[in-house]
């Protein structure tokens, strides 16, 4: 859908595609559990051999439809909703980093993300090195170590409003054999689609412009499907070697371009459980339906303020 339609169409139409007689509006599947016919079918669902629903912590149709809309808007292969932007950022890193690992991060990021990365992840044995996003390539490259697993930045930083050179960050990350993760909360895919500039994973706090009505805290992770995990298999054992908690399944082999997002859903969400409630996903979807109308107005408002300040000799 994302290749054929403009963002404004995707805002309204993507994700939920009802068949004849089904509700036109995305329903709230307010159900913990889903019916199955046989124990064998349930076992296949649990073993990821068949796609379908059985327990909302793992997957829910309302959440999946909204995640699919955001994936279409970003031009990714799939997405997963989380309870908050904080949860999205935690999962995005923890999906590929474990105790003893390290990642590199732009120093211009949201304070909550800074605390998560610098303080809380450190307690889990994951170290971060912050770099100035405006530093030359060589200086940023010096921050990489043998155990570095990712590069992270915000497309427009909160609160300093610095615009990330995504192409530069992608070039550096890929030279080092790691993915670039971009928090795209502020521009939203209406104003910037980081995958088009080389990012591999996009995260959002949907709490802001995407929700748009200040009703629901939420987050999202989108996978471009572009990073070749197997080409760097030694760095990413969680994706490229068998998962003992899934009967020895190897995500990169079993799911190819969907390996990262499948692991995030099937393993991290199963174990950590920070799901977005279907009710909040429904409200988020209503916000997304007008994102293409609201973002240009936000830009117009910001330009009016900036022009006023620029022309004021007291500033």
Ligand X SMILES: Cc1ncc(COP(=O)(O)O)c(C=O)c1O
Provide the mask over 240-279, with x wherever binding to ligand X is found by CB under 6 A and - wherever it is not: ----------------------------------------
Residue closer to ligand X by CB (options 262, 280) is 280
**158 lies in the site for ligand X, by CB under 6 A:** yes
Provide the mask over 30-49, with x wherever binding to ligand X is found by CB under 6 A and - wherever it is not: --------------------
Residue from the set 70, 72, 77, 217 that interacts with ligand X by CB under 6 A:
217
Rounded distance between C-alpha atoms, residue 119 and residue 122, angstroms? 5
Choices 12-20, 25-33, 80-88, 235-243 (CB under 6 A): range interacting with ligand X: 80-88
Touching ligand X, residues 98-157 (CB under 6 A): 110, 112-113, 154
Residue from the set 108, 207, 276, 285 that interacts with ligand X by CB under 6 A:
207
What angle do the packed helices 61-74 and 278-288 form, to 10 degrees? 30
Question: In whole angstroms, how close is the CB of 113 to ligand X at the nearest point?
Answer: 5
Choices 85-93, 99-107, 194-202, 263-271 (CB under 6 A): range interacting with ligand X: 85-93
Rounded distance between C-alpha atoms, residue 107 and residue 50, angstroms? 42
DSSP-derived pairing of the beta strands 127-131 and 78-82: unpaired
Question: In whole angstroms, how close is the CB of 216 to ligand X at the nearest point?
Answer: 9
Instruction: Give the long-range contacts of residues 238-242, CB within 8 A, separation 24 or more.
Output: 238/95, 238/96, 238/98, 238/263, 239/96, 239/263
Residue 170 makes CB contacts below 8 A (sequence gap 6+) with 180, 197, 198, 199, 200
Choices 53-61, 79-87, 93-101, 239-247 (CB under 6 A): range interacting with ligand X: 79-87
Residue from the set 56, 62, 63, 86 that interacts with ligand X by CB under 6 A:
86
How far does CA 66 lie from the centroid of its chain? 13
> In a 10 Å sphere around its CB, with 0-12 CB exposed, 13-18 middle and 19+ buried, how is residue 245 labelled?
exposed
Rounded distance between C-alpha atoms, residue 175 and residue 140, angstroms? 12
Q: Give me the residues paired with residue 181 across strands.
A: 152, 201
Inter-residue contact 72 to 1 (CB < 8 Å): yes
Residue 127 makes CB contacts below 8 A (sequence gap 6+) with 101, 102, 103, 121
Q: How many residues bind ligand X (CB under 6 A)?
A: 15
Residue from the set 59, 84, 148, 277 that interacts with ligand X by CB under 6 A:
84
Residue closer to ligand X by CB (options 56, 86) is 86
Residue closer to ligand X by CB (options 86, 252) is 86
Inter-residue contact 220 to 189 (CB < 8 Å): no
Residue closer to ligand X by CB (options 187, 238) is 187
Q: Which residues bind ligand X (CB under 6 A)?
A: 84-86, 89, 110, 112-113, 154, 158, 183, 185, 205, 207, 217, 219
């Amino acid at each position: 859908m994302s290749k054929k339609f403009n963002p404004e169409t995707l805002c309204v139409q993507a994700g939920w595609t009802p068949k004849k007689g089904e509700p036109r509006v995305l329903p709230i599947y307010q159900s913990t559990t889903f019916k199955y016919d046989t124990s064998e079918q349930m076992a296949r669902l649990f073993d990821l051999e068949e796609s379908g629903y059985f327990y909302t912590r793992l997957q829910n149709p309302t959440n999946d439809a909204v995640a699919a809309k955001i994936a279409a808007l970003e031009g990714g292969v799939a997405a997963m909703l989380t309870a908050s932007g904080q949860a999205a950022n935690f999962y995005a890193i923890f999906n590929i980093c474990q105790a003893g690992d390290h990642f590199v991060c732009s120093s211009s990021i949201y304070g909550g993300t800074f605390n998560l990365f610098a303080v809380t992840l450190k307690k889990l044995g994951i170290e971060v090195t912050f770099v100035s996003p405006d530093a030359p390539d060589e200086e940023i490259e010096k921050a990489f170590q043998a155990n570095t697993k990712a590069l992270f930045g915000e497309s427009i930083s909160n609160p300093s409003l610095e615009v990330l050179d995504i192409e530069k960050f992608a070039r550096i990350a890929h030279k080092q054999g790691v993915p670039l993760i971009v928090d795209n909360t502020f521009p939203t895919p209406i104003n910037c689609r980081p995958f088009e500039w080389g990012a591999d994973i996009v995260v959002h706090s949907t709490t802001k412009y995407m929700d748009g009505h200040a009703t629901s805290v939420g987050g999202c992770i989108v996978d471009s499907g572009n990073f070749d995990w197997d080409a760097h298999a030694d760095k990413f054992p969680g994706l490229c070697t068998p998962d003992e908690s899934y009967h020895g399944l190897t995500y990169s082999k079993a799911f190819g371009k969907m390996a990262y997002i499948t692991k995030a859903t099937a393993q991290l969400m199963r174990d950590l459980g920070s799901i977005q409630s279907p009710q909040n996903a429904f409200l988020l979807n209503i916000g997304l339906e007008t994102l293409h109308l609201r973002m240009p107005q936000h830009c117009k408002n910001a330009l009016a303020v900036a022009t006023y300040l620029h022309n004021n000799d007291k500033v």
